[in-house]
Structure 1
Amino acid sequence: MTSHQFHSPATPDLDAPRYAEIATFLRAPLATDLRDVDLGLVGIPYDGGLTNRSGARHGPREVRNQSSLTRKYHHVSRTNPFDLCRIADLGDVPMTRALSVEGAHDDISAFYDLVHAAKIIPLSVGGDHSVTYPIFRSIARERKIGMVHIDAHMDLWDEFQGSKFSHGSPFRRAIEDGLLDPKRVVQIGIRGAQNNKSGWQYAEDHGVTVIFIEEVNEIGVEKVLEKARAVVGEGEAYLSFDIDSVDPVFAPGTGTPEIGGITTIQAQALIRGLDGLNLIGADLVEISPPFDQTGGTSLVGASLLYEIACILSNGIAKRKCALNDLMQTAS
């Protein structure tokens, strides 16, 4: 008879059957504190900034469920992100003022202040896209950063229904607050009609690089990546991925679907092609399980979360190696 010892559910066994163990992002261990974590996976169960179909508040929980299907080794790079750095699920942002957009954003910023102080690279799952703005208030307050933004929408509105903090406004607010350098922002996959031209005009006036879906299809992913890397440069940058960038054929579970989007293969290629950028964080937002009858959208989200974790962990490992080399040279 095999003898068994107690195995803490806070440290899932990545080799266990995929239907077993407590569901965490990418089957990562649950953090008990913020020590000894390089890459922190965070859920933001908030969708009070939505302008249409609600439900993204349930995104983090369902992406954790679908994360049970993820595995360790990437089939292209043959690397395991868990071998490259210390990854942990930090749980969900504690919400104390969820019925107030500004209050909820303060809750989010307060949590990311702790994450930033602990020098953890955050990889977040929303939630609606308004959550990126309070993340920026924490991790970008010392200097302006660049951004690769993959989305169907520009999210550069000024206001909606009297609010300046909807999911259509985060990057306009971040630019106004000096958190985001518009000339180092590239938006990929933008499409869909608008009720006014203000977002497009704001991008033109402030030097935001916009790659509409028609250009993506015309020049291909490789050329898009060349353009994106040239815009962002070597400075610190952030990746924000809205699931509605993916065509609703593949990802119908979202609040503002737009036909004619990128495929899941293009999404994977875009993320992989950002490897090597100086990324200080990333998020995946707008997954809405109530509109995702088969769970397919959340599976797409979990799979893309893994892709993002791979490039972030590789960047962390390279920075650690460079720092060690520098310290050895100095000594």
Structure 2
Amino acid sequence: MHAQHGPVAVLHFDAHLDTWDTYFGAPTTHGTPFRRASEEGLIDLTASMHVGIRGPLYAKGDLEDDERLGFSIVTSEHLEEHGVASAIERMRARIGDAPLYISIDIDVLDPAHAPGTGTPEAGGLTSRELLRMLRALADRNIVGADVVEVAPAYDHAQLTAVAASHVAYELISAMAPRD
């Protein structure tokens, strides 16, 4: 993405920051990708954001590090208190017209909506809330996206697979050319 667009805004939907320096002592894991990308200059430090954060912090400086690495945060508590429309407004204002990469860690959803993930955290978004937020971004310059951390071995009645497939459909639809 960077080779084609320069630094991209990253809109990261997740229960966890994923900007830790190490995770269980390893510098390159599913808990560190956005730190590494920021350190490499791949991320637009003025337009990136996490949405749905509610997982544990591991060190006193986690939030300060995260901000230094270029991220603003909309917590799941903010969504509960202020609603989806407020989160959408904050996302759109932060992203602006920047080339946008959207990363969806399925554990952004509450385990009631997506139990099939390796790091579930109670208190997450509903599928409806996530889909509404993604639809509100269809007019943005989305240049790439991913859906990660679906774990079929933990997926009861394929709830997570259904949610992830709908999320992927919305992302693909949002990236489709418009006439």
Report the TM-score, using the length of structure 2 for normalisation. Answer: 0.94
Query: Partner of 2:47: helix, strand, or coil?
Result: strand
Matched with 2:27 is 164
The aligned amino acid for 1:140 is H
Matched, 1:180 2:43: yes
Matched with 2:104 is 241
Runs of 4+ that moved beyond 4 A: none
Query: Partner of 1:186: helix, strand, or coil?
Result: strand
Query: Partner of 1:181: helix, strand, or coil?
Result: coil
Distance in 2 separating the partners of 1:204 and 1:281: 23
After superposition, what is the alpha-carbon deviation per residue over 1:154-210, rounded to whole angstroms, capped at 9, x for unaligned? 100001243211000000000000101122101111002223233312123344211
Matched with 1:254 is 117
After superposition, what is the alpha-carbon deviation per residue over 1:214-259, rounded to whole angstroms, capped at 9, x for unaligned? 1111111111111111111102111111100000011000010000
After superposition, what is the alpha-carbon deviation per residue over 1:246-287, rounded to whole angstroms, capped at 9, x for unaligned? 000110000100000000110110111111110101110000
Superposed, which structure 2 residues align to 1:1-331 within 5 Å? 139-142=1-4, 143-313=6-176, 317-318=177-178, 321=179
Aligned length: 178
Is the 1:243–1:284 contact (alpha carbons within 8 Å) kept by the matching residues of 2?
yes
After superposition, what is the alpha-carbon deviation per residue over 1:83-140, rounded to whole angstroms, capped at 9, x for unaligned? xxxxxxxxxxxxxxxxxxxxxxxxxxxxxxxxxxxxxxxxxxxxxxxxxxxxxxxx21
* CA-atom RMSD in angstroms: 1.4
Is the 1:151–1:187 contact (alpha carbons within 8 Å) kept by the matching residues of 2?
yes
Report the TM-score, using the length of structure 1 for normalisation. Answer: 0.52
**Which structure 1 residue ranges, 5 or more long, are not aligned?**
1-138, 322-331
The aligned amino acid for 1:163 is A
Distance in 2 separating the partners of 1:294 and 1:197: 39
Aligned residues with identical type, % of pairs: 37
For structure 1, which segment, 157-166 or 193-202, has the greater mean C-alpha deviation from structure 2 after superposition? 193-202
Distance in 2 separating the partners of 1:282 and 1:204: 22
**Which structure 2 residue ranges, 5 or more long, are not aligned?**
none
Q: Which has the larger radius of gyration?
A: 1
